[in-house]
């Protein structure tokens, strides 16, 4: 019986110690990370998120966009993300300090959206979501139910979910310098 207790205690420690070390070491490394200026006296980045964008993130989660879109730009030597124009620099942990939940994603069926708000130039996001085929997006799911026609049938009216979602997509940017990722040396 004495040996059994020692064995159980050994098994418990073998599981608990590495698990505890993982949790504690991540907390020590990243737990106190916050917004920071790239240089002394400079503005703090990432910028505060607009309220509508925070609501839009909840819509993004509820519609499952994360199942096809990542939000993480890989460093230049580890993939072609920067060459493809997904970002101007690699993503760093500090980029995500305000985001709850963080939506890194693990499958990239559509393009990465980490820097989408900065890199998109004049794309009609409503048109893409409402009628992807007409906007040249051959593979995109339809989110037409987020839009309605006006009473006279002449214009498209976005729902509150669509307005928040588009605000969220436009708020996604990683085009600023931070202590770990300076744009100019
Ligand atoms: C089934 C996978 C899938 C899902 C789910 C999905 N997308 Fe996409 N998305 C794509 C693909 C693929 C593209 C590339 C365009 C194309 O070929 O259809 C794309 C393109 C986009 C683009 C344009 C990106 C660029 O670089 O121009 C945006 C913005 C976008 N999606 C937003 C969303 C949002 C918001 C949601 C959730 C409401 C969503 N997507 C859900 C697959 C998906």
Looking at ligand 1, which residue's alpha carbon is closest to its atom 9?
A: 110
Do residues 180 and 92 touch, judged by C-beta distance below 8 A?
yes
Looking at ligand 1, which residue's alpha carbon is closest to its atom 39?
A: 65
Dihedral-angle region of residue 181 (phi above 0 means left; psi in -120 to 50 means alpha; beta otherwise)? beta
Q: Which of 121, 98, 105 is nearest to 178 (CA)?
A: 98
How far is residue 17's CA from residue 25's CA, in Å, rounded to a whole number? 12
Do residues 68 and 110 touch, judged by C-beta distance below 8 A?
yes
121 exposure class (CB count in 10 Å sphere: 0-12, 13-18, 19+): exposed
CA 20 to the chain's CA centroid = 27
Residue 139, ligand 1, Cβ within 6 A: yes
* Residue 184 pLDDT greater than 70, yes or no: no
Q: Which of 59, 110, 130 to mutate to test the pocket of ligand 1 (most atoms within 8 A of CB)?
A: 110
Q: How far is the centre of ligand 1, averaged over its atoms, from the C-alpha of 110 (Å)?
A: 5
Residue 136, ligand 1, Cβ within 6 A: no
Residue 141, ligand 1, Cβ within 6 A: yes
Exposure string (b/e) for 171-185, b if CB count within 10 Å is 16 or more?
bbbbebbbeebeeee
Return the CA Rg of the chain.
Answer: 22
pLDDT tier at 38, thresholds 50, 70, 90 = confident
Q: How far is the centre of ligand 1, averaged over its atoms, from the C-alpha of 111 (Å)?
A: 7
Residue 138, ligand 1, Cβ within 6 A: yes
**pLDDT per residue as tens digits for the range 4-18:** 999 999 999 999 999
Average pLDDT in the 28-45 region?
Answer: 88
* Residue 30 pLDDT greater than 90, yes or no: no
**pLDDT per residue as tens digits for the range 51-77:** 999 999 999 999 999 999 999 999 988
Average pLDDT in the 107-126 region?
Answer: 92
Residue 106: both structure tokens together: 């693990």
How far is residue 89's CA from residue 45's CA, in Å, rounded to a whole number? 15
Do residues 37 and 45 touch, judged by C-beta distance below 8 A?
yes
Exposure string (b/e) for 71-109, b if CB count within 10 Å is 16 or more?
bbbbeeeeeebbeeebbbbbbbebbbbeeeeebebeeee
* Residue 185 pLDDT greater than 70, yes or no: no
């Amino acid at each position: 019986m004495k040996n059994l207790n020692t064995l159980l205690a050994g098994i418990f420690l073998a599981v608990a110690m590495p698990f505890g070390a993982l949790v504690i070491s991540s907390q020590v490394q990243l737990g106190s990370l916050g917004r920071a200026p790239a240089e002394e006296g400079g503005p703090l980045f990432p910028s505060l998120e607009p309220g509508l964008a925070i609501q839009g993130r909840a819509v993004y989660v509820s519609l499952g966009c994360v199942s096809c879109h990542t939000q993480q730009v890989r460093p230049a030597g580890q993939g072609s993300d920067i060459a493809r124009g997904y970002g101007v620099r690699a993503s760093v942990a500090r980029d995500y300090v305000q985001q709850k939940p963080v939506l890194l994603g693990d499958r990239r069926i559509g393009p990465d959206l980490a820097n989408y708000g900065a890199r998109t130039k004049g794309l009609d996001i409503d048109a893409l979501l409402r009628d992807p085929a007409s906007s040249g997006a051959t593979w995109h799911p339809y989110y037409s139910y987020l839009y309605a026609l006006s009473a006279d049938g002449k214009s498209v009216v976005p729902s509150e979910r669509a307005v928040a979602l588009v605000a969220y997509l436009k708020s996604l940017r990683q085009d600023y310098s931070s202590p770990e990722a300076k744009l100019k040396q």
